[in-house]
Structure 1
Amino acid sequence: MRPTKSPTRSERSIPAVTASAAAADALLIMVFAAIGRDAHARGDVITGVLLTAWPFLAGAAVTWLLLRLWREPLALWPAGVAVWLGTVGVGMALRALTGQTVVLPFVIVALISLAVLLLGYRALVLGFLRLRRSRRRD
């Protein structure tokens, strides 16, 4: 009987990175919905945010599953761009199908806001990881 090879530290952290990236995407989509609701002074804080966020959360989940983003969840391309566009595209389609407002200014704001949030944190994390790697080499 051969001894089993124990997983390396990076192999053990893959599920944690994937779960963290998915959670960050969901949290940032909730932040987007909360900011939007606050900007328009709408009541029902918790249920209102959930009502606004669910189509976008569904869009992100569909994108994660269809494109198997867990393979490289922090990559700007294709994961970051895919989850950003999938979140907005599917989210707006679901809003339209359920009778929620879908107007061009809102689509533009959603595209810009979610790009900053969903691509921004990935860029920051990747920059931090590169900096950490380069300092280890020195």
Structure 2
Amino acid sequence: MKRTAIWALLDIAIVLIFAASGRSTHDEQNTLVGVLGTALPFLLALVIAWVTTRQWTRTAQGTPRALQVWPAAILLALITWAGGLGLRVLLGDTINGGFPLVALGFLTLSLVGWRAIWALIESKRAGRSSL
């Protein structure tokens, strides 16, 4: 349970970094309220993605789903991205220009990336322990 909370916090941190970096790119102040306001649609979508993909459970093989790159992490990233964009529009903001592609790239690379690195480390660790 402790690890699951850490993984959830890592995903939340990624969304907050995404919002803060976007605000910096557009010369907006990175106040706590500003970053949270920008991140809100994506944070809500992240919660939906966590619930939809059941990140706190284990696969049939016993792997924590939160560490499963395919399909759990890919779906998590796509739901967070699509849901975040949709909620952003519903909340009255825009998604013009290259923003959807930047969001897709950042969220996918980050949310899937840390899981892929973790899986690689775990597989190396398991390989060593069997020697």
| Aligned position for 1:127 | 120
Aligned residues: 124
Aligned-partner SS, 2:93? coil
Runs of 4+ that moved beyond 6 A: none
Secondary structure of 1:100's match?
coil
Q: Output the amino acid matched with 2:52.
A: L
Q: CA deviation at 1:43?
A: 1.6
Paired residues of 2:45 and 2:83 also in contact (CA < 8 A): yes
The letter of the residue matching 2:121 is F
| 2:8 is aligned with 1:22 | yes
Report the RMSD for the aligned CA atoms in angstroms.
1.2
Secondary structure of the residue that 2:51 maps to in structure 1? helix
Specify the alignment match of 1:66 in structure 2: 52
From 103, 124, 127, give the equivalent of 1:110.
103
Identity, in percent, stands at: 35
Unpaired segments of 5 or more residues in structure 2? 58-64
1:52 and 2:38 aligned: yes
How many angstroms apart in 2 are the aligned matches of 1:122 and 1:22? 12
Normalised TM-score (structure 1): 0.84
Gaps of 5+ in 1: 1-14
CA distance in 2, matches of 1:69, 1:24: 13
Matched, 1:91 2:66: no
Higher helix proportion: 1
**1:17 touches 1:73 (CA, 8 Å); kept in 2?**
no
The normalised TM-score by structure 2 is 0.89
Moved more, 43-52 or 123-132: 43-52
Task: Determine if the alignment matches structure 1 residue 80 to structure 2 residue 73.
Answer: yes
